C-alpha cells in the first residue's frame, strides 16, 4: 500500500529529476554578490556546464559512498556541475571547479559545500516544476538558494547566506543557455 507521504516523496523526486534533466547544458552566468554590512558588490561572469546523471551513474555511487548511504543506488539522479569564473575585481584570478549533486527523498547530497570541501546535505523543495529551493547548513552558516528555470533558455538563481541567524550576503544570478 502506498501512503500519501510515499506519493509526495515520489512526486518530489520526479519533479527534481525533471528539473535536473532540464538544467543540463552549458550556461553563461552573470552574478552579483552583495555584502550587506559593508555594501560591497562583487560581479562574476562564469561559464557553467551541467551534466545530468541517472541512477547508478558511477559519480552518484561515489557520492552515496561519501555520505555512507546503506544502499549505493539510493540516489535517484543528480548533476555534475563544472564552472570557470572570472571576477570583475582587479587582480582576482579566474577560478574553476566542480561539484556533484544527487537526490533521495527531500535530501540533496553534495560532494562539497559552498564554503567547505567536505560533503554536505541540503533539504530541498520544489515550489513548482520550474523552481528548486535548497537550504544547506554547516559551520554555523545557512545557505538558502532558489533556482528557477525561465523557459528553455534562461534561469535565475538567488542565494542568501546567513551566519548566527543574520543575513550577511546575497548572490543574484541571471543565466542564459549557450
CATH, residue 143: 2.40.128.20
The span from the CA of 69 to the CA of 115, in Å, is 23
Q: What is the pTM of this model?
A: 0.88
Q: What is the DSSP letter of 151?
A: T
Give me the domain span that covers residue 169.
Answer: 4-177
Question: pLDDT tens digit string along 77-91?
Answer: 999 999 999 998 888
Give pLDDT, residue 31.
Answer: 95
Please count the structural domains in the chain.
1
The pLDDT-based confidence of 8 (bands split at 50, 70, 90) is low
Give pLDDT, residue 38.
Answer: 96
The span from the CA of 74 to the CA of 5, in Å, is 17
SS3 at position 65: helix
Give pLDDT, residue 11.
Answer: 87
Amino acid at each position: 500500500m502506498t501512503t500519501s507521504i510515499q506519493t509526495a516523496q515520489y512526486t518530489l523526486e520526479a519533479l527534481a529529476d525533471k528539473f535536473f534533466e532540464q538544467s543540463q547544458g552549458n550556461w553563461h552566468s552573470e552574478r552579483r554578490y552583495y555584502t550587506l554590512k559593508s555594501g560591497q558588490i562583487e560581479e562574476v561572469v562564469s561559464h557553467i556546464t551541467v551534466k545530468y546523471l541517472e541512477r547508478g551513474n558511477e559519480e552518484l555511487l561515489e557520492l552515496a559512498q561519501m555520505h555512507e548511504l546503506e544502499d549505493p543506488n539510493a540516489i535517484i539522479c543528480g548533476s555534475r556541475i563544472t564552472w570557470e569564473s572570472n571576477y570583475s575585481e582587479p587582480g582576482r584570478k579566474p577560478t574553476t571547479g566542480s561539484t556533484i549533486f544527487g537526490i533521495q527523498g527531500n535530501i540533496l547530497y553534495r560532494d562539497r559545500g559552498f564554503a567547505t570541501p567536505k560533503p554536505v546535505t541540503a533539504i530541498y523543495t520544489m515550489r513548482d516544476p520550474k523552481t528548486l529551493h535548497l537550504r544547506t547548513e554547516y559551520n554555523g552558516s545557512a545557505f538558502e538558494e532558489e533556482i528557477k528555470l525561465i523557459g528553455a533558455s534562461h534561469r535565475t538563481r538567488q542565494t542568501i547566506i546567513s551566519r548566527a541567524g543574520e543575513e550577511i550576503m546575497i548572490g543574484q544570478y541571471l543565466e542564459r543557455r549557450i
